[in-house]
Amino acid sequence: MGLFRSLKGKVDVGTDDPPKPTQTASSHDGWSVRDEKRRIFGGGSSGDRNQHSQSSSSRAPTPHHDQYNAPPGPPPSQRIANDQYVPPEGPPPSHGHRLTQTEFQPPAGPPPTQASNPPPYHDWTVIPDTSLLPPPPAITEEFSPTNNASWDSAARAHDWCEQNLVFTPSIPSSRIHVDSQAGRIGLDPPPAQLWRGSSVRQLSPISYRVKTSKGQQDAILLSTLPIYFAAADNPLQTQQEKTIYFEIRVINIANENSGIAIGFSAKPYPPWRLPGWHRASLGIHGDDGRRFVNDSGGGRDFVTAFRPGETLGVGMTFSTDELRASGPEGRVKTRVFLTRGGARGQGDGWEIDEERDAVLDPIEGLMGEGDLYAAVGVFGGLEFEVNLGKETWLWKPRG
């Protein structure tokens, strides 16, 4: 064990042997066993004890080199660390602190009231009642919810119209013009190849009975004579309002794949197409209740579907209210209307020159500048009457 002591110096590591006294003098010299017993057990005379006490008090203990000595002052938990925030002396900046030029300085006085604020960007309260505004334009649909012709049929009809231009206005004789005004204008069926199993029977000079087979394809019946002569009826020339009109009385509609369309059209017109699908024509279709003006798509929502037992009429009014855009030329204001049971209801018509795409949906031929014919479109199994004269109409025009 002496080997460890020689290596470690005075530190007693790994041994319980007491340290041996050295030959050098120390503060313990002069101590004896008797004196130690007296110090511990209190033996001996008081003089000895006093002498020992005085000698003990005069000598300070020598600390051991390996003994821990606590640093002066309070323990670390009661000291403020150097990195701990120490608030500055004096009151907070809000109490007597003067702001620099870079700091925000609120204006003097109380905040502004609502009345002193600037006016809003736009006063929306000045907008008039929307009920005074015109109705929004109807939306053109791509497809009908009931029946649709093929795109091939439409493409062939467009080509046909390009090869067969609309007739120029004719000048009627006085007799023909009188017959036209009385409804004695005839009703022509489509070509025979489109009319197999179907028939048109004349009931009177102004009435016809039409019956079609269940397999009847799309076809159109047109009046023999114009119901409107541009050369004789145009309000720009006559300075009088002109109304054209006819009715149908629905007897039977075989199924949902059958339908009637009523309207007006110029001639010539593709015989396998319904009115309203091509240029210079308009139609109200009874299977879906939509209206069409030179529209080969799905039309625009208008009325409810036609039903058996109903009497429906379609009319056009050419007004003397001219629309003069530039120059001396003007256009006639034209409105279409529908009757049911001889009565006109709210929202029963529309203006021909309503908001629309002028390129995709032109209205040439429908503003009083061209001749027009009564038009009835059919498909599927039907039975109905066509009444062209006012003696048989449920609707009674004014005058």
Domains of the chain: 151-392 (2.60.120.920)
Tens-place pLDDT, residues 364-397: 999 999 999 999 999 999 999 999 999 999 999 8
Instruction: State the pLDDT at residue 52.
Output: 47
- Cα separation, 394 vs 52, whole angstroms: 150
Lowest mean pLDDT among 57-71, 88-102, 372-386: 57-71
User: Is the per-residue pLDDT at 314 higher than 60?
Assistant: yes
Instruction: State the pLDDT at residue 10.
Output: 41
Q: Which helix (H) or strand (E) holds 177?
A: helix 174-182
User: Is the per-residue pLDDT at 233 higher than 80?
Assistant: yes
- Parallel/antiparallel/unpaired status of strands 242-253 and 311-323: antiparallel
Crossing angle, helix 46-57 and helix 33-41, to 10 degrees?
A: 100
- Cα separation, 41 vs 268, whole angstroms: 149
User: Is the per-residue pLDDT at 107 higher than 90?
Assistant: no
Beta bridge partners of 376: 221, 262
Q: Which residue has the higher pLDDT, 76 or 337?
A: 337
> What is the token pair recorded at 217?
């394809």
Q: Which residue has the tokens 């339908």?
A: 259
Cβ neighbours, 10 Å, residue 261: 26
Tens-place pLDDT, residues 163-185: 999 999 999 999 999 999 999 99
Q: Which residue has the higher pLDDT, 15 or 304?
A: 304
User: Is the per-residue pLDDT at 100 higher than 80?
Assistant: no
Q: Which residue has the higher pLDDT, 63 or 38?
A: 38
Average pLDDT, the chain: 80
Peptide bond into 61 cis (omega under 30): no
